[in-house]
Amino acid sequence: QQQQQQQQQQQFHHLNEAKIQQIMTLISQMSNNHPNSLLIQTSICKCLLNLSSHQQFHTQLINNNAVNLIIIAVSNPQPPTELYSYAWHCLANLSSKQLNRSNLYTLELLRIVVISMQYHLTETNIQIQASKFLAYIAHNEKDIQIFLRRQCILKHYTNVLQTYLRIESVQEMALKCIAEIVSSEEEEEDDDDEDEDNNNN
């Protein structure tokens, strides 16, 4: 009987899909009501990050617009470093399964990720989590690899590798990301560059 009570208590405290749905509904309402409150938007990103640590709920989070909520948060002017850190860590968690990846980015979001990395060069967690997310997203995706190269990401990683000479975790993620971003064939990028030059002329 005691064991049965313990099981009931565990079930009561355990997160399930219905509870996640309730939480996501509340978060969405808060986001809609306070899109420009950095305090609330930072808390939303932290909550989404903690929910994303439960892999069984990844699909539900994505279907409940977790990515849109993050885009609203990071689109605010001058978010605190914690907001970026929570946001990119959450996206890195959600993109760990290849099935999810196509739902997890827009080019505008990737541009914001790169800008945040460049602006917060000395924030270790932002560099690690953003690199992890970009490495997942760029895996076998030539268009994204070329897009990121055009965002001067390789120049940024030169700065990262010089800044973090003694921090292996940052160097490891930076090199993983570089490896993904340079894996597409050069000829394709050259062709694209030529097209772009012709358009500019």
Q: What mean pLDDT comes out for the span 7-19?
A: 67
- Nearest alpha-carbon partner for 113 in 161, 67, 59: 67
Split at pLDDT 50, 70, 90, the class of 201 is very low
Position 103 confidence tier, pLDDT thresholds 50, 70, 90: confident
Query: pTM here?
Result: 0.84
pLDDT classification of 4: cutoffs 50, 70, 90: low
Alpha helices (runs of H) in the chain, residue ranges in sequence order:
2-13, 17-33, 38-52, 58-63, 66-74, 81-94, 107-119, 124-138, 142-150, 153-163, 168-181, 186-200
Tell me the residue length of the chain. 201
72 contacts 41 by C-beta, under 8 angstroms: yes
Q: Quickly state the pLDDT bin for 184 (edges 50, 70, 90).
A: confident
Residue 92, amino acid: A
In this prediction, what percent of the chain has a pLDDT beyond 70? 85
**CA 112/CA 74 separation, integer angstroms:** 8
Mean pLDDT on 99-112: 91
